[in-house]
Structure 1
Amino acid sequence: MATGAYDSSTARAYVRATDSVFRRDVISHTTRAELGDLRGLSVLDVGCGEGRDARWARAQGAVRVLGVDLSEEMVRMARQRSAGDEHLTFVHGDGTALPDTGRFDVALAVNVLHYALSRDSLARMYQQVYDRMHPGGRLVAVCADSRCDPSRPGPDAYDITIERPAGAEEGAEVRQRFLRDGRPVAEIVYRHWPRDLHERLAHQAGFTHLRWSALRCTADTVPRRGPDRHARYLSNPHLVVLTARVAPR
C-alpha cells in the first residue's frame, strides 16, 4: 500500500519531526474540529501512527477506537503509550485490506491516502474504509493537495519543503522534508493523486457529500507565530482536508 512502513529508527525520527506546531496547531486542530462530538461513537483511525489521534478520540468519549498502521514499530509505540485501555486497540494492517472487526461511526485518515502506490490501491483504500463504516458514518481525511506548487513558498511557513517534478503525472513520487533550523531532519515519500481522482474513487466506493476544505490554525497560533505565517501557508498549501459521508441505508 505505502512507502510509509517505517522501521524502528525511521518511526522515531518521523514522530519527533511531526511533533511540531504544524501537527498540533494546524492538522490536529482542523481534524478535531471536523470530527466534532465523538461521545458514544466508534472510531476507525487508518494510518494511526503512534496513536495520538486515537487517544484523543477516546478522551473525547468515543466508546471504541481501532487504530491501524502499516508500520509495526508505530503500532508498538501506540500500544505502549495507550496501555490499560481495553476500548483502544492498535493493530498492524494495510489500508487496502483492513481488519474486519465490526463497523464504525467515524473514520479518520490523516496523511495516509497519498501513500497509495497505485490508482487501484487508492481505490481499494476508499472501498475498505467505506465497507467498515455504519450507514450515516463520516470520513475525515487529510490528503496531499495536488494543487500545491513546489516551486512557490507556502509549506516553508511551517518548515516543510516539497519536491515534485514539474507537470507531474498521476502517481508521480513526491518528497516531503521536515526542517529544523533550516536543515532536513526527516523525509517521507508519497504519490501525487489529483483531487478529481480522489473524488471519483470516493464516489465509486459509495461515499457521498464530499467536501474539500483548508487547514485551520488555533486562535493562539497567530499571535505566537506571526500574523502572516498561516496566511502564507494557505497561499500554497501542501495538505487539504476531505470529508465525506456514508449514505443511510
Structure 2
Amino acid sequence: MSEDLTHPSVARIARRGADPDESARASRVWWEREADEYQAEHGDFLRDVGFVWGPEGLDEEKARLLGDPAELSGARVLEVGCGAGQCGRWLRAQGVDRVVGVDVSLRQLQHGLRIDEATGCSLATAQADAQRLPFVDSAFDVVCSAYGAFPFVPDAVAALREVARVLRPGGRLAFSVSHPVRWCFPDDPTGRGLTATESYFDRRAYVEEDDEGRALYVEHHHTVGDWVRAITAAGLSLIDLVEPEWPADNEQVWGGWSPLRGRILPGTAIFVARKGD
C-alpha cells in the first residue's frame, strides 16, 4: 500500500480501456489518498447518519427507493462502496439491524470508525472490491450503492451478476451513477459545461495517469441502454429509473454538479431492480 500511495501527481488524462484489475487498483489508490479531503469537503452534505443518493440531495428518507424502513427491519442489507458508511448508518438508525458496508478503501472505512464513535451508531464493514464480493450466494435481501462503486467498474454485466449472486430471490438492488448523458459535456459547473463536446457513444474510460502511464483514477462510461441490458443480463428486472431534478434550495457546487447545470441537465441516474423469485 505504501508504494501505491507514493505515486506522483496526475501527468495526463486519457480516454482508453482499463481492465477490472487496473480499475480496482486505481480506485483503491485514489480513495486512500483523497478520503480525508473528500470527507472534510462533503461530510456536512452527506451527514454522519444520512442516505443521500447524489449531489442533487435526493434523500432516501423521502425517496423510499429501498422501501419502507419499517418493512426492512428484519432484512439483510449490503451497501457496496459505502465510503464512511453514512448510508448504511442511516439504515441502522431506522431500525434495520443487519447492515454491512464494503469499500475498496481502508482510509474511507477508518473515517467510518471515527463517525461510529462520534455518533454511537456503528456499521459492520469490510474492505472489498465490488467486482468480487466476499459473501456467499443469496446472503442479502437488499443491495444499495450511492455512487459508491458502479461508476468505476469496466464490465457492468459482470458487476451486476456479482450483486445478483449475493441477492436472495425476490431481493432488491438500487444504485446511483453519474447520468450517462453527462459524458457528452465537460465536467464544468459553469456555462461551459452546457456545450456537448464528446460522443455519448464513446465508451472508453476516463483515466488519470501518472508520468509512467499508471492509472491513478479510472471512471467508466456505460450508456443508459448498457445499464438496462446489464441489469437484464444479470437476471434482474428493472423496476424504476430515477433522474433526480435539482431542487431550488440546493445551491452547492460539487465538482461538475451545480444549480446552473442541474436545472438543465440530469446529473444522476438511479437504477432500481429486483431479482426474480
- The corresponding residue for 2:182 is 148
In structure 1, distance between residues paired with 2:248 and 2:95: 30
Change (3 A) 1:20 1:173: farther
Change (3 A) 1:38 1:135: farther
In structure 1, distance between residues paired with 2:176 and 2:207: 16
1:56 to partner: Cα distance = 0.4
What TM-score do you get using the length of structure 2 for normalisation? 0.68
Aligned mate of 1:77, from 82, 100, 111: 111
What per-residue deviation string (whole Å, max 9, x for no partner) do you get for residues 29-58 of structure 1? 344422232231221000000111010010
Please provide the CA RMSD for this pair.
Answer: 3.6
1:123 to partner: Cα distance = 2.0
What per-residue deviation string (whole Å, max 9, x for no partner) do you get for residues 144-174 of structure 1? 2111265479x727xxx79x96126213317
What TM-score do you get using the length of structure 1 for normalisation? 0.75
Change (3 A) 1:166 1:246: same
Q: Kindly provide the amino acid, as one letter, of the partner of residue 131 in structure 2.
A: T
1:44 aligns with 2:78: yes
Structure 2: state its 5+ residue gaps.
1-19, 209-215, 253-257
What per-residue deviation string (whole Å, max 9, x for no partner) do you get for residues 196-241 of structure 1? 1111111111111342111256xxx625749xx7585042123211
What per-residue deviation string (whole Å, max 9, x for no partner) do you get for residues 6-29 of structure 1? 454411112223336589776253
User: Highest CA radius of gyration, 1 or 2?
Assistant: 2
In structure 2, distance between residues paired with 1:151 and 1:209: 27
Change (3 A) 1:198 1:4: same
Change (3 A) 1:242 1:31: farther
Change (3 A) 1:22 1:10: closer
1:62 to partner: Cα distance = 0.9
**Secondary structure in 2 matching 1:156:** coil
**Secondary structure in 2 matching 1:143:** strand
In structure 2, distance between residues paired with 1:150 and 1:237: 12
Structure 1: state its 5+ residue gaps.
176-186
Q: What does 1:81-230 align with in structure 2 at a 5 Å threshold?
A: 81-83=115-117, 88-100=123-135, 103-111=139-147, 112-116=149-153, 118-119=154-155, 122-148=156-182, 150-151=184-185, 156=189, 166-167=198-199, 169-173=202-206, 189-216=218-245, 222-223=248-249, 225=251
In structure 2, distance between residues paired with 1:169 and 1:60: 41
Indicate the larger mover: 46-55 or 69-78. Answer: 69-78
Indicate the larger mover: 21-30 or 138-147. Answer: 21-30
1:106 to partner: Cα distance = 1.3
- The corresponding residue for 2:5 is none
